[in-house]
């Protein structure tokens, strides 16, 4: 999964900047919030993917993929939430 710095730098590349620092420093302050919001959404998506992957591995490892409530409990367990 992508780390936060990777997400920011990839976003900057899409905006035709070499990296996040140059991109964000080139913007007026009043235009930055929308880009921070987009980075937050991209980061949250990556964290959810990583967390679901971990839960899926746990369910598979212990042959517990037939219990939706247990899967839900595992997803909500703070120990299984991955912050990248």
Hey, what are 77's tokens?
């367990």
Residue-level pLDDT at 65: 60
Residue-level pLDDT at 68: 66
Question: Domain map of the chain by residue range?
Answer: 4-24+33-80
Distance CA 19, CA 48 (A): 25
Residue owning tokens 């980075």: 39
Burial of 12 (0-12, 13-18, 19+ CB in 10 A): buried
Rg (CA), the chain: 17
Indicate the pTM of the whole model.
0.75
Residue-wise pLDDT tens digits, 17-40: 999 999 999 999 999 999 999 999
Helix axes 33-61, 4-14, angle to 10 degrees: 130
């Amino acid at each position: 999964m992508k780390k936060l710095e990777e997400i920011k730098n990839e976003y900057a590349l899409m905006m035709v900047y070499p990296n996040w620092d140059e991109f964000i420093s080139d913007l007026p302050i009043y235009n930055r919030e929308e880009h921070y919001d987009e980075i937050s959404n991209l980061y949250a998506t990556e964290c959810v993917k990583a967390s679901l992957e971990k839960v899926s591995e746990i369910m598979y490892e212990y042959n517990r993929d037939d219990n939706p409530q247990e899967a839900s409990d595992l997803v909500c367990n703070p120990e299984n939430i991955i912050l990248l």
